[in-house]
Structure 1
Amino acid sequence: MHLHAYQHRTGLNCETTCMRNVLAVYGIEFSEEVLLGLDGGFGFGYFERRDNGPDIVIGRQQIFSGQALRLLGVRARSFQGSGPAILLDQLKLERPVIARVDLSELPYWNSHGGAPFGGYFINLVGHDDGQFTVSDAGFPELQTISEDALNRARSSKRSPPINPERWCHVIESVCGTPDLARVGYFAVDNCVRDVLKPGIGNLGLPGLKQFAAGVRNWSYTKTGTVKMQLWSDGGVHDVAALACQLQSLGRAIEVFGTGGGLFRPMWSRFLHTFGDLVGDERLLDAAQTMTSSAQLWTMLGRNLLEVGPESSQAVLDQQLAALVETIDRIYQLERKAMDGLRSIRPPATRVPPAAAHRNTTSNFA
């Protein structure tokens, strides 16, 4: 059984790639940047580990909120449940299944259980002889996974508080045509509000401040050695806890499905695209500020990826000092961007005719 209407395409981010590819089955084409912007999940999250393993840093505040689909007039259904039956029922209805999993439990990633992350998404697009066919944003070809391995990946509890909890999502129907100029403002306003005043202090700008404080303590909290998978040979080795933390942060920023720069380039491109569409200088100004932040995040991530198990203590201390300085600069830029978009609403004047004419799905794709 395979969903022939589904076209596998790689992408920048697992969640937005999954949404983009599933929407295409229903004849709806949007870029990942637009889906990220409409979903309102952009932001920041910081979760300290109680041991000396690497703290978790993410560039989104919500995981599959469903807001983008609702704003696009798409009726979706979310469900939980173990085992293959609940998934097979949806595939029999010709519906691709967006499944949330622990990345480290996907055998074809060959991570050997290292770096657990329960906020990863894959599309299930077929099943045959006890094996599910997987469309994964990180691979140019379709992958396969056994029913048992998939259940382990969906049920993993190895990355609290970001465990997959067996969540899955399907699109049931397309209900209407979106007015992007209107829903875009709603999405930006909702996102900015959540970044400035999140429900918990680990998220948004408060979370970024917590992260800055946590980084300053890593010399004392990240001591001894921890297990880490090295990309040089694929094996799991004992490495200095601080080296593991710094390289893990580099991977979170640049490698693990953020589009590079911890989602900042993607969100700044959304603001540019939307700002051009509606002719709003506030959006364009914020986009430029976020581009500056994105450049710092990218530089930071690439530098941290150079940290290795052989790095001396002097090199680790130097990297840590640069990290502290860069995070402070990033905070100021992102505070400026969010303050500039605070309580943003459509301008009182009408949208210029040229911009109104461009208000089509194809211009956002």
Structure 2
Amino acid sequence: MTAQKHLKQRIRARMAKTGERYAAARRYILRTAVPTPHDSSARWHMPGNVAATTALRVLLAHAGVRAPHTGEPFSEAMLFGIAGGIGIGVFSFYYQREDIATFYVAGRHQWHDDLAYLRDALAGFAIEPVVMETGGASTAARQLTELLDQHGPCIAWVDMAKLHHRALPSDWSGSAYHIITVYSINPAAGTALIGDLADQPIVITLDDLARARARIVKQRHRLLTLAPADPQIDLAELVRRGLQRCYQGLIEPSLTQAPNNARLAVLRTWAERMYGSQEKDRWERIFQPGANLWRGLNAIHGYIEHYGTGGGLCRPLFADFLTEAAAVLQAPALAALGQQYAALGRSWSELADAALPDHVAAMRATKQLHVRRTELLHSGDATAELQAIEHEITSLAQAAGEHFPLPEAGCTALRAQLAQRIHALHDAEVAAHAALGQAIA
């Protein structure tokens, strides 16, 4: 576990030296930090970027699984690639009765199903997951105790809006799908020690944990841990399978409902709806200036940069995997492809930045608050300040709903600029995907 008191300073120093965004600097520092165990239930806690990959990394480290090429726990980037790497998902919804429009963009392979994602990743290691589900709260509490006693740390499916330390608005509750690692519980103190991407383990109340596990009913208080195993790891084969899974997932996604929304062509559709389309789902119609356009622009920024991607819609993390995979397979073409995806990550971050342009004071302020919020979440011990930031973000959103900070012509110009960027991203993603196909042929 990287020492908290040093991690923050190293990230800040990296930002000052390179001019990188916070997410990029943190990715670099986490990539170069060597995890070391501490004598506690969270002895292999590791900070991370993507929730499912980080949780899997922690469980494998606790189980004694090591990367053959380093002798250390697997890097997050390597596990991210082995599990299928990147994906795509673009959705917008309009609720006419309430006049509410929402937007979502995802960048991880199998982003819609964490359980399938983890099962498939573990299958490559020949490790069976132990999964428990129940509809009852008392049984859920007992199952958690049993898994921790018998197997050690486990992954819990939660609604992140019910986790007090995240300080999210109440209207997120019911749809804030998330997973965390539970290291231990202390019934006498009424607390649990968890991992949630932050730089150090976090203590939460058992009541908070129970509410978070119960809120999304269809998840049935799900828990996952690892059955005992002694895997014989063929790293080259794991890497090849991950590359193939990534390539195929962008052609034939496992999403059964609206699969076209999980293929790269959806980026072209999104660009057309952003500007120039006459379809009923065009942004001009459903994301009109006011609360809806404000929500949509903030969603573009947030889902690309801040909500469990590590920035750049997971593309930089995939680039790191390709660089590591190139050494494992002795395939220079993968290293070159890594540079291509690193550039894609920068382009995605530029889109996120452009969605809240700096020349509009309210948008610049909101963007800065999002960055500060992410920094504080990673520190893991700043709930009061996070609540204050969320209040500021909400106040800016309310003001934008009443008087949008851009005139009509400015909104049209912004949508045109974003559409141009999305068209370019589509073309670059298609080219990178074709290069990936050539590399694994």
Alpha-carbon distance in 2 for matches of 1:105, 1:137? 16
Any stretches of 5+ residues in structure 1 without a counterpart?
226-239, 347-365
Alpha-carbon distance in 2 for matches of 1:297, 1:282? 23
Question: Which stretch of the first structure deviates more once superposed, 272-281 or 245-254?
Answer: 272-281
Contact persistence 1:6–1:22 (CA under 8 A):
no
Distance 1:143-1:322 versus aligned 2 partners, 3 A rule: farther
For the aligned residue pairs, the C-alpha RMSD in angstroms reads 2.6
The sequence identity of aligned pairs, in percent, is 24
Structure 1 residue matching 2:261: 3-state secondary structure: coil
Aligned counterpart for 2:169 among listed residues 105, 112, 118: 112
Contact persistence 2:42–2:201 (CA under 8 A):
no
Distance 1:330-1:244 versus aligned 2 partners, 3 A rule: same
Give the corresponding residue for 1:90.
147
Asked whether 1:32 is paired with 2:89, we answer no
Contact persistence 1:61–1:203 (CA under 8 A):
no
Alpha-carbon distance in 1 for matches of 2:204, 2:242? 35
Tell me the alpha carbon deviations over residues 207-231 of structure 1, each in whole angstroms, 9 at most, x when there is no partner. 3334334433212112375xxxxxx
Asked whether 1:173 is paired with 2:221, we answer no
Contact persistence 1:3–1:125 (CA under 8 A):
no
Asked whether 1:279 is paired with 2:279, we answer no
Alpha-carbon distance in 2 for matches of 1:249, 1:72? 35
Letter matched to residue 221 of structure 1:
I
Alpha-carbon distance in 2 for matches of 1:42, 1:145? 34
Give the corresponding residue for 1:223.
288
Alpha-carbon distance in 2 for matches of 1:283, 1:68? 21
Alpha-carbon distance in 1 for matches of 2:85, 2:159? 19
Deviation at 1:248, TM superposition (A): 1.8
Contact persistence 1:99–1:169 (CA under 8 A):
yes
Give the corresponding residue for 1:156.
215
Letter matched to residue 187 of structure 1:
G
Aligned counterpart for 1:140 among listed residues 175, 200, 203: 200
Give the corresponding residue for 1:324.
419
Alignment of 1:125-274 (within 5 A): 125-129=183-187, 130-138=190-198, 140-147=200-207, 149-157=208-216, 164=219, 166-199=221-254, 200-216=259-275, 217-223=282-288, 225=290, 240-274=291-325
Question: Which stretch of the first structure deviates more once superposed, 277-286 or 323-332?
Answer: 277-286
Tell me the alpha carbon deviations over residues 137-169 of structure 1, each in whole angstroms, 9 at most, x when there is no partner. 13534131333x3343234349xxxx7453321
Any stretches of 5+ residues in structure 2 without a counterpart?
1-38, 66-72, 276-281, 358-362, 367-395
* TM-score after normalising by structure 1: 0.80
Higher strand share: 1
* TM-score after normalising by structure 2: 0.67
Letter matched to residue 158 of structure 2:
V
Alpha-carbon distance in 2 for matches of 1:80, 1:259? 29
Give the corresponding residue for 2:180.
122
Higher helix share: 2
Distance 1:297-1:95 versus aligned 2 partners, 3 A rule: same
Structure 2 residue matching 1:152: 3-state secondary structure: helix
Letter matched to residue 142 of structure 1:
I
